[in-house]
Amino acid sequence: MSADSQYLSTAEELDRQDPLASYRDQFTKSDPCIYLDGNSLGRLPIQTRDWLDEVIDRQWGKSLIHGWNEGWMELSARLGDKIARLVGARPGEILVCDATSVNLYKLVMAALSYQTGRQRIISDELNFPSDLYVLQGIIDQLGSGYKLDLIKSRDGIRIDPDSVKSAIDEETALLTFTHTYFKSSYVQDMAGITSLAHEYGAMILWDLSHSVGSVPVDLHACNADLAIGCTYKYLNGGPGSTAFLYVRKDLQEKLQQPIWGWLGSKDPFQFGTAYEPAGDISRFLVGTPPVLSMSAIEPALDLHLEAGITALREKSIRQSGFLLELYDDWLAPLGFTLGSPREPASRGSHIALRHPEASGITRAMINPPEGKDRVIPDFRTPDNIRLGIAPVYNSYRDIFTGMKRIREIAESEEYLKNPGFIMNSRE
């Protein structure tokens, strides 16, 4: 048996033994490509289409305005309680609302006004750009004395925990990091950094966008203060689906968010003229919730809860182990290097492979010649091909086929026919 056939039969055997294999059929395959981009936009669950039909026809179509009294008003909290079960939060600590960047703004402003006398924010240069922009905007808005310090990375892959220790001091109001990094997939030590922040009297805010639904998180066990995240990646909530925010129970009444909308007020339907914030997590709401967008999140969320985050993580680790075996054997000799940590505990569910011709290779993967498999990864400047493993629907065979196609493109230099950056690839 050739080495390739051996890898193929290993993939087929692992698929046969996969306890989560049946979930694969619960996603639409209108495009039969090998989809390795679920870390950016998850596939569409079949159930979501049916559920949205129901929400549109029965809830909106028939219930009309009464829909608000028949579940829409509670939707943010109800979905939040389901997300809470994936990230170790308690009921009443998570709300689904707004965009991730907007939630970051609300929570950072709330933390800064609570931390009187402290004006320093610490983040790092590998954080997602939108997070850094929001922080820069806040510093600009608040003006004199406020300061953002970004920890540097030595290798572009990870942030050394010791560098967080050296950066923090008694003036620090807030630390904010992404839990799983968008480019390298590096996973931060949430428990260690959270307790370090608290030792210095600082608050901590975690961005869970690349963790929720793929990497187990225990906000409660870590005693994390604040968190945000999106729902369109591993949670398969659909393009631009509503994000979430977490505020630990004991902080909810102490923190004041900066956008005083009516739905965050104590009694929106009194239509009073003076704002008084709600006494619980709902004070972090702003305006009318986007019911259709939020409804799309629920079927996929239920699938993840049913599959179980532990089983999903186990499969993701086995799958990325298989991918790395193929990388070592096939791609490292062709000039690829690893842009992610090798040890599974320090890595989320995507793997970045670096190559000087990464953009051309990505283009060739997406636009294959007749008869070749179409494989969808994404490209991150300057030289990263990100391969996202969504354990809920990716098979081991997807990984075999995707990696084989990358090898073929690199060996044949097919990328020379596909020059140029991919301009519209979203995070």
Ligand X SMILES: Cc1ncc(COP(=O)(O)O)c(C=O)c1O
Q: Which member of 7, 105, 232, 322 is catalytic?
A: 232
The only residue of 168, 230, 376, 403 in contact with ligand X, by rule CB under 6 A:
230
b/e map 45-68, b = 16+ CB within 10 Å: bebbeebbeebeeebbeeeeeebb
The only residue of 48, 123, 185, 209 in contact with ligand X, by rule CB under 6 A:
209
Q: Nearest 5°: CA angle at 333, between 330 and 338?
A: 80
Contact 362, 51 (CB under 8 A): no
Closest residue by Cα to residue 108 from 123, 96, 93: 123
Q: Which two tokens stand for residue 31?
A: 């495009």
By C-beta, is 207 or 414 nearer to ligand X? 207
Name residue, tokens 């499969």. 315
Q: Which two tokens stand for residue 283?
A: 């004070």
By C-beta, is 24 or 106 nearer to ligand X? 106
H or E stretch at 131: helix 129-142
The answer to whether 232 is a known catalytic residue is yes
Q: What is the 3-state secondary structure (H, E, C) of 253-293?
A: CCCCCCCCCHHHECCHHHCCCCCCECCCHHHHCCCCCCHHH
Q: Which two tokens stand for residue 299?
A: 């079927």
Q: Which member of 347, 386, 404, 407 is catalytic?
A: 386
Omega of the bond leading into 268 within 30 degrees of 0 (cis): no
- Of 45-53, 99-107, 214-222, 398-406, the window that binds ligand X (rule: CB under 6 A) is 99-107
The only residue of 36, 55, 243, 331 in contact with ligand X, by rule CB under 6 A:
243
The only residue of 10, 47, 63, 101 in contact with ligand X, by rule CB under 6 A:
101
CB 240 to ligand X: min, Å: 7
Q: Report phi then psi at 70, rounded to 5.
A: -110, 25
Contact 385, 410 (CB under 8 A): no
- Of 48-56, 124-132, 152-160, 186-194, the window that binds ligand X (rule: CB under 6 A) is 124-132
Alpha carbons 199 and 190: distance in angstroms, whole number: 14
In DSSP terms, 95 is beta-bridged to 245
Q: Which member of 233, 248, 313, 404 is catalytic?
A: 233
CB 65 to ligand X: min, Å: 29
Residues 135-194 that bind ligand X (CB under 6 A): 178, 182
Alpha carbons 364 and 167: distance in angstroms, whole number: 43
> Is there binding between residue 113 and ligand X (CB under 6 A)?
no
The only residue of 47, 63, 130, 153 in contact with ligand X, by rule CB under 6 A:
130
The only residue of 21, 33, 52, 99 in contact with ligand X, by rule CB under 6 A:
99
Contact 333, 343 (CB under 8 A): no
By C-beta, is 225 or 427 nearer to ligand X? 427
Q: Which two tokens stand for residue 14?
A: 């692992």
- Of 57-65, 126-134, 144-152, 285-293, the window that binds ligand X (rule: CB under 6 A) is 126-134
Q: Which member of 37, 81, 98, 207 is catalytic?
A: 207
By C-beta, is 197 or 230 nearer to ligand X? 230
Mark out the alpha helices in 18-128 (DSSP H runs).
Answer: 46-54, 75-87, 100-114
CB 175 to ligand X: min, Å: 16
Alpha carbons 130 and 136: distance in angstroms, whole number: 10
The answer to whether 318 is a known catalytic residue is no
- Of 149-157, 187-195, 204-212, 292-300, the window that binds ligand X (rule: CB under 6 A) is 204-212
The answer to whether 35 is a known catalytic residue is no
The only residue of 100, 214, 319, 349 in contact with ligand X, by rule CB under 6 A:
100
Q: How far is CA 401 from CA 286, 326, 408, 416, in A?
A: 46, 11, 11, 21
Catalytic residue annotation: 128, 207, 232-233, 386
For binding to ligand X (CB under 6 A), which residues are involved? Answer: 99-101, 128, 130-131, 178, 182, 207, 209-210, 230, 243, 427
